[in-house]
Structure 1
Amino acid sequence: MDKRVAPEWKVPVPEVRVDLPPLKLYNSLSSSKVAFVPKRGKDVTWYCCGPTVYDSSHMGHARSYISFDIIRRVLVDYFGFNVKYVMNITDIDDKVGFSILFCYFVDQIIKKARQNYLIENYFKSASSFSQVKEDIRAAIKLLEAKSKAHPEPDQREYLKREVSRIRTLLTSRTSVMGMLTGAQDALAAYLDAKHGSSISDYEIFEALPRRMEEEFRNDMRSLNVLEADKLTRVSEYIEPIIAYIERIIHNGFAYAVESGSVYFNTKKFAETEGHFYAKLVPTAYGDAAKLASGEGDLSTTEVEKRNHSDFALWKASKPGEPAWPSPWGRGRPGWHIECSVMASDTIGESVDIHTGGVDLKFPHHDNELAQAEAYFGHSHWVSYFLHAGHLTISGCKMSKSLKNFITVRDALKQHSARELRFAFLLHSWRDTLDYGVDTMNQAIAFNKTITDFLFNVSHTLRLLSSSKYATTMDLPDNQDLSNALSTAEEEVFEALCDSIDTKRAMLAIRELINASNQVECAQPLVSGSMHLLPRAQQCYTLAAFILRLLCVFGAADRTALADAWVASYHSSSVNGNPWPISRDHVVKAASKPLWVSMVAPKKETLAAAFHGSALACKQFVHEVHDVASNARDVAALLSNFETTLKRDFNLDLNNMSNDANAVFDTALKQALGECATLKRVQMGEVEALETEAWPVVARLLYATADLRQGVRLLAQSGGPLKVQLLTTCDRLRDDYLPVHGIRLQDRADIATDKADLPAIGLVEAKLLTTERREKAERVAEKAAAKAVRLMAKMEAGKQPPSEMFRSQLDKFSTFDEKGMPTHDATGKEISKSQLKKLQKMYDAQAKRHEDYLTSLDS
């Protein structure tokens, strides 16, 4: 047979013509990047294949749904499309299809539900140790048979190990419950094989998917994946599915068989003019293994099908399986028909975008297309098919047998949702993504780059608010930075038009931050900088641009700073024009502490930071008092600080509650008074938290930093307490504040080498913990290297200089009373020039030996 080639894809003819961005998407139907043209102007319909909810969601799910969430957000928030996003939940399923994405043979809902039910009842009734052992032996036999028949080598090895493990369990000294727990999965499979067909309580088939669906949705929320506009469930679509199948039969593309099943006639469809079967993977037509992967192990035999490649639209149910009445007898839907029906019902006979994992291309998506086109009678049901790439774990496929199966919840214990999203953003959505150390280190590093940049922007704005030059100086902009912003805008626009290339867009953000850092290195900012205002304007604008873009990607929350950047899909052409954000706007924004972060403030977060800062202050004040109780200038500093806390926040460090919320509420009332603003803060309104609550926290942080700065300056002026006071100041910076998610950095004027206003702000505690660990590691490495050098020096100094040359008889033969050589090994007298060099070596060893002896004495 000649190689099959899908028909040429054609650009959709829009029903509504509007100006569209030059966006191209990689379309699996054309295997190329093509212009994105929705049918109805900027209104986009999108159907996404959702999960089969039989078990916990894993990183394979995250690969698809985070990727599609990013694309969806870009279409809506960057390009201005109106997207109707529909996703299904498969809560009826019996397929055991081999999935490249999941990389193991998944248990199906029907079996899983039955097994859960059977094993739960078995646990309740099991009392005879001998009967339990007998059943486990029977389960081992079933497991052995599976281990020999399984087509996957990794899975065969896994099952063999399970057989060995459970046999060992049988001979161990353990309780009945211990034995049941250890052999639970094998026992469940055995009980299902023995008793599954006798189950008549069909409610058990609903309980498992409902529970796992809720878990899946919670996991997606934890990953900041937007909810679908419409969520559909197979179990709610039985009647529409039956009607859909009846129409396909009426159109001549399906047939019922004696058993009560209904099959799609692939041969008839493929041979009908205007239709083409397997558009996505034409060469897979007739591939027995791939076809079987979409049918399932509960299917009937091949005998009743007219063609080997035909697939089930409706399956006659056997005892122990859920069933619904239909014109062909009691049964349940086939896997592929579900999506065709739900997408057709919620969207119609034309779908702009259809998405799913790359492993679903064939047979699932190709069968979906065939069903819908057979139903509607045309060949263009889906315009754009987008497939997310595979996911591997440290270079290997994800598999329970390889013990690298990672659930979303497991991943979130190791990394934040933002770090995971950065990992996806730094890779193409359609390429294989390797979830491993290198990938996550890149994501963590990018997160730190953004965090550090925003921390410095926040400090720059604080410098501006405290500077007398803020509104008087009008120095020129830095043209290099203006050009860098213009370049970044253009690069991001081109990247996102190029099939949503977020990796390229992220690199543009990094380059923009690098450009800003270079300017900072060349022209460092301090409190009295004459160029503070233009630089603050630049930093503020860059931060607004970056935060707005990260909001589009779902990697940052909406904040006032992000909203300051008014962006659409076009470039604002900064180069040669005034900055998009005026200096007056920046001066006004910096008039009080501005929230500069990827995370929108929450009341509990601000309360924890305020209380944490107060606790750190309490510890610091007590230690300073203990060290310098008789120093009047230090005592005056501490007294003034405590007076300020009482006046501004009604805060008494010596009589402070352990309840962070109570302490913060008291401070808010003192700072804001009883007013409507206070109520908005207490209700958790983001705007009020940013503009009213955060400044209260910031003022305490600034007061803390200023107190420490005052103590440091007094200590540095000299005196017997200098070392102790500076050590206490270091502990506040390095230990007491970081545990509460507060970073404090000392800053200095490089020109004068004088201490400047320190930088202080909130940073996620995990990042600060990493910084502390890395700093400790650097100190330890430095100390270890110093110790090695010292040991080497000690070793070199052990030998007295008088013995140094005497041991080199291959070079010298005669020596004077000090041990200096007079003749070489051949008996020839040492020349004056050579003797001069040897004397230098002798003197150097004499010094080393003297140091060695001194170290022994000490």
Structure 2
Amino acid sequence: MRTWSTFRRLRPLYSSFVLPEVLRLVSTTGIMERRSAPTWNLPTPDVKADLPPLKLYNSLTNSKVLFVPKRGKEVSWYCCGPTVYDSSHMGHARSYISFDIIRRVLADYFGFKVKYVMNITDIDDKIIKRARQNYLIERYFEDVSSLKEVKEDIRSAIKMMDEKSKSHPEMDQRVFLKREAERLRMLLTARTSVTSLLTGAQDALAAYLDSKHGSSICDYKIFESLPRRMEQEFHSDMRALNVLDADKLTRVSEYIGPIVAYIQTIIDNGFAYVVESGSVYFNTKKFANTEGHFYAKLVPTAYGDVAKLASGEGDLSAAETEKQTFSDFALWKASKPGEPSWPSPWGQGRPGWHIECSVMASDAFGESLDIHTGGVDLKFPHHDNELAQAEAFFGHSHWVNYFLHAGHLTISGCKMSKSLKNFITIQDALKQYSARELRFAFLLHSWRDTLDYGAETMNQASAFNKTVSDFLFNVSHTLRLLSSAKPDTNDELPEALNLSEALAVAEREVFEALCDSIDTRRAMSAIRELINASNQAECSQPLASSSPHLIPRAHQSYAIAAFILRLLGVFGAADGTGVAKAWTTVGRGGGGPPPITVDQVVKAASKPVWVSMDAPKVEVLAAALHGALLACNQFISDLQDAAANANEVDAIVRNFEAYLRKEFNLDLTSLPNDALAVFNCALKHTVREESRLKELINGHPSALEEDAWPVVARLLYAAADLRQSVRVYAKSPAAKSAGLSAKLLVACDRLRDNYFPACGVRLQDRTDLATDKADLPAVGLVDAKLLASEKREKAEKEAEKAALKAQRAQIKEDTARLPPSEMFRSQTDKYSAFDDKEVSMVTSI
């Protein structure tokens, strides 16, 4: 319950009748303390279906309840979309990535047919204020020329800030306003130009100009252009995050007529009233006192929360005195000068915030919908008011059956806010992390808990990304070994290497986790454990060309990779590649054999298999092919510098160049600068079928996997073989006697550590422990950023190792300079007495 000091602080914000009304509610009914939500009933479906034992955490019950849609496996879902007045930020990502994951799981894992509707709020007080401020500050920048005038306006802006800092209901905003006012005072005392003053005081000036001139604006196009531009940016950001488009997108501006009609019905039903100004308010007291209805179902104790109620009404709301009760909220706002307006039976105006979603969701799904979602900050008053409006309209109390709320997002433990200077846009986040890493961060946490976006969270996400990438890289190499060695026996795996039970356990654990309110944390943990089990088996008996059990181990690795990729695809963290599609059974409790046969794997491995979380793209494959060729060119140049007169090295290089001309029609001495031209040249030489070639050039995913990637892979294998041949010669007696060994090995290391990683190619040397000889090197495509990170971490570890070595050497040198008397006196744990020459005589016990 709010304290008396809180009420005193809020007094300037509200009219004289509000505070007594709040106190009456608290003192006579205890409404903010004793109210509890009404009993929730499991929906009775209109259509029977075989449903999974899925439970969802329902905000209407604050507990996990069985999910039963009204129409069998068809799910109606309305999601509150953004208010488009500024750039999308990580708070938006918190909600929309979380709901995208849940949506994908319902559809792709459990097999529900989901209709997902989302709105765009393009009429709102925030939009009006921001559009006016942008318009006014732009004109001000064009017209103002006097330093004196600018300083005077800044002083007026500071005065307005001082007043707001005393009355704003949010503590962090009051602190911010005070700090900003002080900063602007310092700015005024500095010797600076008009331009610097304008830039430094832009936001404060915009707010001041709006308070002074906002009501005079007549160009209403600005109230359309801003939300259209911000909406486009929002959609672009969502697609960059791999968030699926809504099945239906609604905009408030397209629903004015239905909103007016909806409000009229609420008035006719006795739950709203019109005031003299032309505004229409919802009668919360009448609704709450009507049998069969309950106001504030989601947050019963918030009924009477003055600050939250005010935040839901908007910055441009009319005086509180026209309401019958302070908790009533606007359905229709009579517009004032400088505000956009539409006709209605009550006069020119615009919709209130809450009514917009009630109308659009009702239009999409009628008098009942299965799921309604939004951020946890929308619970009260927005979602509670939505419920009240719709129930007042339809005349029943079960408009939404399941309310899901995504948890808060904090930045390194703090609330995200421009006032705290920790406001992170989605575009800023994507400059630092990949969309997959951001999604992994969300998957590693519960969708309904607070997520702290900071270094620790993102390090965990990046580490998980690397774990999966490394595992898939090793699986790709295993399949290459299978195709190269061509074993003809499929013997049984020994117990230490058999992971069939680990795979079955992981499948069961994932099923149970996702049935438990889509608990992706547990599901991701199951993936990690399965990869760890695979890595442990690999460490116990590293795989090589001559290894026994090659076929069953390759089959096992392929099956595990397919399961993981299929699941990550369900989560929106991986693309639908051929390996992912091979895992055809999802949404089952596990226990059965993998849906992949040995013959499938052997056939797939007959040519290079694309094993990755990403589907291949033309630009990626072309860049890798071209980059690898340039790396080989540089490597050959290094070899010529290191061994100018070595006939053996020349022969190795000539064989490699001849292979490129024969197999790919490529000449290293005259490579085009255009990566795509090189790529197309290689494809045209190797893919003879015209229709298939057209699919490749157009970037058809399956064609790129089946035909383009093998071309790139064979070139990478040839480049790795070139290097391997040089290494073999470098270790020969002939190279050692000629003094070439070290130089050639350095050149080989440079290709592996520098040239290849720069173009997204990872090459790892492998040894066959059975023969103690070099085996086929592992080579493949890996994100260049990940390779750069690995290189950086390796350099840091080597630097730390060198520094520690130097420190130990220094300690040893310093110790050698000490006289014996000083050396032993510090070792009191060993010696307890010394003779007259200060030499230790008695050993401590």
The interval holding the TM-score normalised by the smaller chain is over 0.9
1:430/1:810 Cα in 2 relative to 1: closer, same or farther (>3 Å)?
closer
The question of whether the paired residues in 2 share the 8 Å contact of 1:357 and 1:389 is answered with yes
Partner of 1:613: 628
Report the 3-state secondary structure (helix = DSSP H, G, I; strand = E; otherwise coil) of the residue aligned with 2:418.
coil
Report the 3-state secondary structure (helix = DSSP H, G, I; strand = E; otherwise coil) of the residue aligned with 1:757.
coil
Partner of 1:682: 697
Partner of 1:263: 281
Partner of 1:600: 615
Partner of 2:775: 756
**How far is 1:468 from its partner?**
3.0
Q: Identity rate of aligned residues, in percent?
A: 71
Alignment of 1:665-744 (within 5 A): 665-673=680-688, 675-718=690-733, 719=736, 720-744=739-763
Question: Is 1:198–2:216 an aligned residue pair?
Answer: yes
Q: Counterparts of 1:824 and 1:477 in 2: how far apart (Å)?
A: 64
Letter in 1 for 2:835: A
Question: Is 1:134–2:134 an aligned residue pair?
Answer: no
The question of whether the paired residues in 1 share the 8 Å contact of 2:726 and 2:744 is answered with yes
Partner of 2:197: 179
**How far is 1:477 from its partner?**
6.8
**How far is 1:143 from its partner?**
2.1
Partner of 1:852: none
1:93/1:12 Cα in 2 relative to 1: closer, same or farther (>3 Å)?
same
Letter in 1 for 2:542: P
1:519/1:556 Cα in 2 relative to 1: closer, same or farther (>3 Å)?
same
Question: Is 1:385–2:416 an aligned residue pair?
Answer: no
Letter in 1 for 2:69: P
Report the 3-state secondary structure (helix = DSSP H, G, I; strand = E; otherwise coil) of the residue aligned with 1:487.
helix
**How far is 1:509 from its partner?**
0.3
Letter in 2 for 1:740: C
Partner of 2:182: 164
**How far is 1:161 from its partner?**
2.7
Report the 3-state secondary structure (helix = DSSP H, G, I; strand = E; otherwise coil) of the residue aligned with 1:278.
coil
**How far is 1:572 from its partner?**
4.5
Q: Counterparts of 1:390 and 1:134 in 2: how far apart (Å)?
A: 41
Report the 3-state secondary structure (helix = DSSP H, G, I; strand = E; otherwise coil) of the residue aligned with 2:527.
helix
The question of whether the paired residues in 2 share the 8 Å contact of 1:810 and 1:825 is answered with no
Letter in 1 for 2:440: F
Q: Normalising by structure 1, what TM-score?
A: 0.91
Report the 3-state secondary structure (helix = DSSP H, G, I; strand = E; otherwise coil) of the residue aligned with 1:401.
helix
Deviations 1:119-138 (A, max 9, x none): 11112222233322322222
Report the 3-state secondary structure (helix = DSSP H, G, I; strand = E; otherwise coil) of the residue aligned with 1:263.
strand
Alignment of 1:557-636 (within 5 A): 557-574=575-592, 577=593, 579-636=594-651
1:332/1:184 Cα in 2 relative to 1: closer, same or farther (>3 Å)?
same
Letter in 2 for 1:225: V
Match among 36, 41, 57 for residue 67 of structure 2: 36
Deviations 1:338-379 (A, max 9, x none): 000000001111110000011111111011001001101111
Moved more, 15-24 or 286-295: 286-295
Partner of 2:320: 302
**How far is 1:808 from its partner?**
7.5
1:485/1:13 Cα in 2 relative to 1: closer, same or farther (>3 Å)?
same
Partner of 1:840: none
Q: Counterparts of 1:805 and 1:429 in 2: how far apart (Å)?
A: 65
Match among 47, 54, 58 for residue 89 of structure 2: 58
Q: Counterparts of 2:247 and 2:728 in 1: how far apart (Å)?
A: 59
Partner of 2:432: 414
**How far is 1:385 from its partner?**
0.2
Partner of 1:767: 786
The question of whether the paired residues in 1 share the 8 Å contact of 2:131 and 2:226 is answered with yes
Partner of 1:84: 115
Report the 3-state secondary structure (helix = DSSP H, G, I; strand = E; otherwise coil) of the residue aligned with 2:86.
coil
Q: Counterparts of 1:73 and 1:54 in 2: how far apart (Å)?
A: 28
Deviations 1:812-836 (A, max 9, x none): xxxxxxxxxxx973699999xx9xx
Partner of 2:502: 484
1:51/1:289 Cα in 2 relative to 1: closer, same or farther (>3 Å)?
same
Partner of 1:782: 801
Q: Counterparts of 2:448 and 2:797 in 1: how far apart (Å)?
A: 39
The question of whether the paired residues in 2 share the 8 Å contact of 1:281 and 1:366 is answered with yes
1:256/1:829 Cα in 2 relative to 1: closer, same or farther (>3 Å)?
closer
1:809/1:282 Cα in 2 relative to 1: closer, same or farther (>3 Å)?
closer
Q: Counterparts of 1:363 and 1:338 in 2: how far apart (Å)?
A: 14
Q: Counterparts of 2:142 and 2:795 in 1: how far apart (Å)?
A: 53
Letter in 2 for 1:420: L
The question of whether the paired residues in 2 share the 8 Å contact of 1:809 and 1:825 is answered with no
The question of whether the paired residues in 2 share the 8 Å contact of 1:461 and 1:590 is answered with yes
The question of whether the paired residues in 2 share the 8 Å contact of 1:646 and 1:652 is answered with yes
Partner of 1:16: 47
Partner of 1:464: 482
Partner of 2:337: 319
Larger of the two Rg values belongs to structure: 1
Report the 3-state secondary structure (helix = DSSP H, G, I; strand = E; otherwise coil) of the residue aligned with 1:472.
coil
Match among 121, 128, 138 for residue 110 of structure 1: 128
1:453/1:806 Cα in 2 relative to 1: closer, same or farther (>3 Å)?
closer
The question of whether the paired residues in 1 share the 8 Å contact of 2:824 and 2:839 is answered with no
Match among 518, 526, 534 for residue 508 of structure 1: 526
**How far is 1:636 from its partner?**
1.1
The question of whether the paired residues in 1 share the 8 Å contact of 2:512 and 2:589 is answered with no
Q: Counterparts of 1:830 and 1:216 in 2: how far apart (Å)?
A: 77
Alignment of 1:419-568 (within 5 A): 419-469=437-487, 471-476=488-493, 480-568=498-586
1:740/1:809 Cα in 2 relative to 1: closer, same or farther (>3 Å)?
closer
Letter in 2 for 1:359: D
**How far is 1:763 from its partner?**
0.5
RMSD of equivalent CA atoms: 2.0
**How far is 1:159 from its partner?**
2.1
Q: Normalising by structure 2, what TM-score?
A: 0.92
Partner of 1:145: 163
Letter in 2 for 1:651: L
Question: Is 1:284–2:302 an aligned residue pair?
Answer: yes
1:588/1:154 Cα in 2 relative to 1: closer, same or farther (>3 Å)?
same
The question of whether the paired residues in 2 share the 8 Å contact of 1:269 and 1:277 is answered with yes
Deviations 1:575-617 (A, max 9, x none): xx4x421111001101100100000111000000000100110
Q: Counterparts of 1:706 and 1:123 in 2: how far apart (Å)?
A: 64
Letter in 2 for 1:659: D
Deviations 1:380-430 (A, max 9, x none): 000000000011100111111211111111111111000000000000000
Deviations 1:494-513 (A, max 9, x none): 00000000000000000000
Partner of 2:106: 75
Q: Counterparts of 2:825 and 2:195 in 1: how far apart (Å)?
A: 79
Q: Counterparts of 1:239 and 1:568 in 2: how far apart (Å)?
A: 45
Letter in 2 for 1:412: L
Letter in 2 for 1:780: A
Letter in 2 for 1:650: N
Aligned length: 802
**How far is 1:244 from its partner?**
0.2
1:156/1:809 Cα in 2 relative to 1: closer, same or farther (>3 Å)?
closer
- Unmatched segments (≥5 aa) in structure 2: 1-28, 828-832
**How far is 1:674 from its partner?**
5.9
**How far is 1:5 from its partner?**
1.6
Question: Is 1:791–2:810 an aligned residue pair?
Answer: yes
Deviations 1:130-162 (A, max 9, x none): 322322222222222222332333323322332
Q: Counterparts of 2:284 and 2:313 in 1: how far apart (Å)?
A: 14
**How far is 1:751 from its partner?**
3.5
Q: Counterparts of 2:836 and 2:161 in 1: how far apart (Å)?
A: 83
Report the 3-state secondary structure (helix = DSSP H, G, I; strand = E; otherwise coil) of the residue aligned with 1:25.
strand
Partner of 1:4: 35
Question: Is 1:645–2:689 an aligned residue pair?
Answer: no
The question of whether the paired residues in 2 share the 8 Å contact of 1:263 and 1:313 is answered with yes
1:327/1:669 Cα in 2 relative to 1: closer, same or farther (>3 Å)?
same
Partner of 2:16: none
Q: Counterparts of 1:629 and 1:468 in 2: how far apart (Å)?
A: 38
